[in-house]
Structure 1
Amino acid sequence: MVFRSQRLSWPLRKGLSSVRVKARAKRRLFGRMLAMKPGMKGSLIVVVEDDDSIRSSIAEILEMEGYCVNAYPNGLAATEALKRTEEPCLILLDWMMPVMGGEAFLKARAELSESNQRVPVVVLSAVSERAQGQPGVKSCLGKPVDLNRLLETVEKLCLSGKCA
């Protein structure tokens, strides 16, 4: 059986329904929160994605994993928020968005504080090859997003000392 969101999917262990997955995820989240190490989970991740269903699915999954998530529909909203909120440990960025896309967001971010410029960026896009080599981009993941690869990338980048 596979749990499916509109554009995300991942295999479920045999005998699990999506309702049981949500209940189990909440219990797992509570257990992980109790066992949290400093700089591990509870760290802020910014999700910048124009597709509502993808944005909310990624945010929900990351929250179930114990991360704090701020999600924005475009680069302009994210840039404005970064000016007035705490520094995230990671930014997940769609490359092609209305209002302000990924490339324009990276340029605008360069004008923010120096600490914001050091936050690693993971690009999530069907055209991720355009983002490779851009300043701050640490990884590019194609769409549809492989959830396991996304979570591995998030954990690796957030445990690299940036989130402490």
Structure 2
Amino acid sequence: MCTPSLVLLVEDHDDSRELLEEFLTMEGFAVETAGNGQSAWERLRRLPRPDAVVLDLMMPVMSGWELMRHVREDDQLRALPVVVVSGAGNSQPLPEGVRATVPKPVDLGELRATLARVVSAAR
């Protein structure tokens, strides 16, 4: 029996975070959550390292943009696969290191397929 992939879900809206956590769990992922970039950064600095991060960009305390900057500056986290899930339009380029994007409102099938592809490619 294989161990489920561990995903860190970073989303500031409680309802969205709970819905996505429930969906990803039902799809066979092990899920940890954070409500903002600061909480996610604190989690990422501890072990075990997740197999992927699902990241909203627009959040209070520390944005997804800021979190990505910290991740890319950390030698142990630099290669961490990140899937951005955001309603932020295409007006700004994505942070360096983002492997894929899923626009909001989230199509759950698209998220499942994208996350499976990103996790598989990282292994």
TM above 0.5: yes
Instruction: Provide the rounded CA distance (Å) in 1 between the counterparts of 2:51 and 2:86.
Output: 20
What SS does the aligned partner of 1:92 have?
A: strand
> What is the Cα deviation at residue 82 of structure 1?
0.8
Matching residue of 2:84 = 123
| Percent identical residues | 36
Instruction: Provide the rounded CA distance (Å) in 1 between the counterparts of 2:112 and 2:93.
Output: 20
Instruction: Provide the rounded CA distance (Å) in 1 between the counterparts of 2:85 and 2:14.
Output: 14
Q: Does 1:138 align with 2:99?
A: yes
> Bigger radius of gyration, 1 or 2?
1
Residue by residue over 1:22-56, the C-alpha shift from the partner in whole angstroms, topping out at 9 and shown as x without a partner, is xxxxxxxxxxxxxx5x4xx6111000000001111
> In the superposition, relative to structure 1, how do residues 161 and 110 fare at CA in structure 2: closer, same or farther (>3 Å)?
closer
What SS does the aligned partner of 1:87 have?
A: coil
Segments of 4+ moved more than 4 angstroms? none
Alpha-carbon RMSD across the aligned residues, in angstroms, is 1.5
Equivalent pair of 1:59/1:69 in contact (CA under 8 Å): yes
2:113 corresponds, among 152, 156, 159, to: 152
Aligned length: 122
Matching residue of 1:62 = 24
> In the superposition, relative to structure 1, how do residues 131 and 49 fare at CA in structure 2: closer, same or farther (>3 Å)?
farther
> What is the Cα deviation at residue 110 of structure 1?
2.5
5+ long unaligned stretches in structure 2: none
Equivalent pair of 1:128/1:140 in contact (CA under 8 Å): no
> In the superposition, relative to structure 1, how do residues 52 and 153 fare at CA in structure 2: closer, same or farther (>3 Å)?
same
Matching residue of 2:61 = 99
Matching residue of 1:109 = 71
Residue by residue over 1:132-159, the C-alpha shift from the partner in whole angstroms, topping out at 9 and shown as x without a partner, is 3x22101111110011100000111111
Q: What TM-score comes out, normalization by structure 2 length?
A: 0.91
What SS does the aligned partner of 2:8 have?
A: strand
Equivalent pair of 1:90/1:158 in contact (CA under 8 Å): yes
Instruction: Provide the rounded CA distance (Å) in 1 between the counterparts of 2:68 and 2:45.
Output: 14
Matching residue of 1:7 = none
1:74 corresponds, among 36, 50, 69, to: 36
5+ long unaligned stretches in structure 1: 1-35
Equivalent pair of 2:72/2:97 in contact (CA under 8 Å): no
> What is the Cα deviation at residue 128 of structure 1?
4.8
